A and B are shown apart, each in its own frame.
Chain A
């Protein structure tokens, strides 16, 4: 079955370290997205990519970086410049230019700074 896989499920980071969250999909979707979710809050868009080798900043891109070298993969790096990185991170994918199809989400990565 096709789907979207995020790993790891739980991640602990020491202050000052960069960490990379993995997101892989086998749905043949062109578009991929990263969201941040804080406790009791909605979704905030970090970065998105509509096509390989291209990506755009979302609403809260500062302190994060991404790459899109393969269609299947859209890793997110949380850098030491992100002052408050503890949150739940969600990756999603979609068919490009098909608003009626919606998104498929991964199961999320919970990042904690220790």
Chain B
């Protein structure tokens, strides 16, 4: 079946550091891929998405490229801020499937 594996957290970085959160997936066909962010005490918000191979999703300085050859969708940001502290979820949506498949989430803490 379809599955998503995320880098285990927690991840702690200093402000202005480079961020990578790894996400790999297993799926048949050509799924859509998503990154969601959850700030403390809130629901999940869509951060970015990509719907086909080699697409790059980007938003708020975050980027992720859909790599079919490595079945990956790693989240990157060049210079993180304290306000980026949150939990990040990678997710997969496959055609004819009724539900998104979520990774376990990665907690990110940015220290000033």
Question: Size class of B's contact patch?
Answer: 20 to 34
Q: How far is the CA of A40 from the CA of B98 in the complex (A)?
A: 26
A108 within 8 A of B: yes
B34 within 8 A of A: yes
B99 within 8 A of A: yes
Question: Closest approach, in angstroms, between the C-beta of A5 and any C-beta of chain B?
Answer: 11
Question: Closest approach, in angstroms, between the C-beta of A79 and any C-beta of chain B?
Answer: 23
Question: Size class of A's contact patch?
Answer: 20 to 34
B58 within 8 A of A: no
Q: Which residue of B42, B46, B89, B95 is within 8 Å of A43 (Cβ)?
A: B89
Mark the stretch among B18-26, B72-80, B102-110 that contacts chain A: B102-110
Q: Are A99 and B43 in contact (CB under 8 A)?
A: no
Q: Mark A94-112, 1 if CB is under 8 A from B, else 0.
A: 1001011111111110100
Closest 7 CB pairs of A and B: A99-B93, A105-B43, A42-B104, A100-B32, A100-B51, A105-B44, A107-B43
Offer 16 A-B interface pairs, CB within 8 angstroms, sorted by A. A6-B43, A31-B98, A33-B99, A42-B89, A42-B104, A45-B99, A50-B98, A90-B44, A97-B96, A100-B51, A102-B34, A102-B93, A102-B100, A103-B44, A108-B41, A108-B43
